[in-house]
Amino acid sequence: MSSKKRDYAVFNKFNFERKPVGISYSLKKPEGIEQLDKSLGICEMFKEAQTSKPFYATKENVQCGAQVVGMDAFPPVMYSGQLGSAFSMFKTPSANRRVYDYVPVLPKDSIRYIMHSSLDQMTFDPDFIIFTTNTSQAEILLRASTYTSGKMWNSKSSTCLACAWMYAQPYLSGELNYIISGLGFSMKGRNVLPDGLIIISIPSEMLSMMMENLEDMKWEPHWFNLGRDGFIKGVKELEAQMIREYPPELVWTDQ
């Protein structure tokens, strides 16, 4: 983890309704930050941090999802798939059991403390940041994530253990992941967020690149504001320009 603190000011331009939250894992007890004074599901912790002072959580604070962050092991009744039908998530135990073949989890006992802080109060270098966005904000962040690399966007999730795709997948893979509120079973049952928000987890390795791209790129290309007819007209004008610069057979056509 870098000791040099980044300047996250570019994210202030989004005017997020719900604050971005930085999260860091540690084996050592954090200094200068207090322990969470309640028990929550992992999927609820970033929401808690949006409106609270910074905190750290230990196993005793984790009501659900301890296995995802390596604080516990899945009991046989879970990984054998016995709970899926009771929750109406899966028809059979075998269908439920397959989830445990692909859901990402941190190695057991690899961390003991999970630090959370809203971006405006953060004093530590996060392992990843969770953004809660509307569609327009998500489009800008996702475009920034591939503006200089051209890589594909990927969204990975599952009906259960949605917290794994926010808290483990980006941390383990070093890749951005996003999910939509209302699709994760426990998150929906716990009323963590209104349906339809886009939750984006961005690992620390990507943050500098994304912030540079956000400073450089146009957040709202003029193409978005032309209307359908104006957009089509603009595309045809661009096509005509390309034909002047390249042989016609090399230029696309929408005829």
Digit-coded pLDDT (tens) for 77-122:
998 999 989 999 999 999 999 999 999 999 999 999 999 999 999 9
Residue 133 β-bridge partners: 198
How much is the mean pLDDT over the chain? 94
The secondary structure of 148-207 as a DSSP string is: TT-PPP-----SS-HHHHHHTHHHHHSS-EEEETTSSHHHHHTT-S-TT-EEEEEEHHHH
Q: What is the Cα–Cα distance from 178 to 250, expressed in whole angstroms? A: 36
What whole-number distance in Å separates Cα of residue 167 and Cα of residue 177?
A: 10
pLDDT at 4: 54
Residue 165: which of 53, 81, 46, 79 has the closest Cα?
46
pLDDT digits (tens, 9 = 90+) for 49-66: 999 999 999 999 999 999
- Give Cα 90 to chain centroid, integer Å: 25
Helix 204-216 vs helix 135-146: angle between axes, to the nearest 10 degrees? 100
3 confidence band (pLDDT: 50, 70, 90)? very low
Q: What is the pTM of this model?
A: 0.93
Above 80 in pLDDT, residue 5? no
What does the domain layout of the chain look like in residue ranges? 9-220, 223-255
Q: What is the pLDDT of residues 218-227, one digit of tens each?
A: 999 999 999 9
What mean pLDDT comes out for the span 147-152? 95
Q: At 43, is the secondary structure helix, strand, or coil?
A: helix
